[in-house]
């Protein structure tokens, strides 16, 4: 099978990490090699971002107006150091978040069109899933995790980000991306099956 670049997106608590892992297991069971990764990446810029997002870390606080540039820098490093080498070696890459997160989250601070310009040169995924969740449910799930919240994890912000994902979906469709909204309130298994179905259809329509 040809190398595939798959992106899983959605509000915090929408289950992207779980679904990325399930896809990995599904591909592995077919004997295919996967590179499972995420953004912010585990490289030096990604680690700096992670640290700065934590609301308790005042020493590494980076303003919302600066973050979009850091996310873009992290993305370039992620493509150069991980995503492209993995695709070139014939692996399937699954990334838990990519530029769609920047469009949704950072679009709220500097505007969607500016974030879009900053990210338009990055290669498009072969297929993207937005796990679609009501902001109220997202907030409940985040609170239940019992972990410290990051700066995006307030109900008001989640409501804005949820709306922003609608604009991201429309923007990506308009530039010809293969992108699907999936109801993240279905069961974990149901979501997985819906995603598999879309991937199988994509592979049937363009197998090489």
Residue nearest to ligand TYD (CB): 105
The stretch among 21-29, 96-104, 162-170, 182-190 that binds ligand TYD (CB under 6 A) is 96-104
Q: What are phi and psi of 8, to 5 degrees?
A: -115, 125
Tell which residue, 25, 178, 194, 205, has the closest CA to residue 100.
Answer: 178
| Count of residues of this chain found to bind ligand TYD when the rule CB under 6 A is applied | 12
Interface residue with ligand TYD, options 4, 7, 10, 12 (CB under 6 A): 12
The stretch among 81-89, 101-109, 180-188, 189-197 that binds ligand TYD (CB under 6 A) is 101-109
89 burial via Cβ count (<10 Å: 0-12, 13-18, 19+): exposed
For ligand TYD, give the closer residue by CB, 2 or 114.
114
Q: How many CB atoms are located within 10 Å of the residue 181 CB?
A: 15
Q: Is 46 in the site for ligand TYD (CB under 6 A)?
A: no
Q: How many CB atoms are located within 10 Å of the residue 44 CB?
A: 10
For ligand TYD, give the closer residue by CB, 19 or 101.
101
CB-based contact 124:87 (threshold 8 Å) = no
Each residue 152-171 as x (binds ligand TYD by CB under 6 A) or -, in order, gives: x-------------------
Give me the least distance between CB of 185 and ligand TYD, in Å please: 17
Q: Is 9 in the site for ligand TYD (CB under 6 A)?
A: no
Token pair belonging to 159: 């409501």
Q: Is 19 in the site for ligand TYD (CB under 6 A)?
A: no
Site for ligand TYD in 49-78 (CB under 6 A): 53, 71
The three state secondary structure string of 15-46 is CHHHHHHHHHHHHHHCCCCEEEEECCCCCHHH
Q: How far apart are CA 180 and CA 129, in angstroms?
A: 5
- Site residues (CB under 6 A) for ligand TYD? 12, 39-40, 53, 71, 97, 101-102, 105-106, 150, 152
């Amino acid at each position: 099978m040809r190398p595939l670049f798959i992106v899983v997106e959605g509000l915090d608590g929408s289950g992207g990490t779980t679904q990325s892992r399930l896809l990995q297991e599904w591909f592995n069971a077919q004997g295919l090699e996967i590179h499972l990764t995420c953004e912010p990446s585990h490289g030096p810029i990604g680690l700096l971002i992670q640290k700065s997002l934590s609301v308790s870390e005042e020493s590494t606080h980076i303003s919302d107006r600066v973050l979009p540039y850091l996310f873009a820098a992290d993305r370039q490093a992620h493509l150069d150091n991980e995503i492209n080498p993995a695709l070139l070696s014939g692996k399937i890459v699954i990334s838990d978040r990519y530029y769609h997160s920047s469009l949704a989250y950072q679009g709220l601070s500097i505007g969607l069109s500016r974030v879009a310009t900053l990210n338009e040169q990055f290669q498009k995924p072969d297929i993207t899933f937005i796990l679609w969740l009501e902001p109220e449910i997202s907030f409940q799930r985040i609170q239940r995790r019992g972990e410290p919240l990051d700066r995006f994890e307030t109900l008001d912000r989640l409501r804005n980000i949820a709306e922003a994902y609608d604009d991201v979906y429309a923007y990506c469709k308009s530039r010809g991306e293969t992108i699907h909204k999936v109801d993240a309130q279905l069961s974990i298994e149901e979501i997985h099956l819906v995603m598999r179905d879309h991937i199988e259809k994509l592979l049937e329509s363009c197998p090489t």
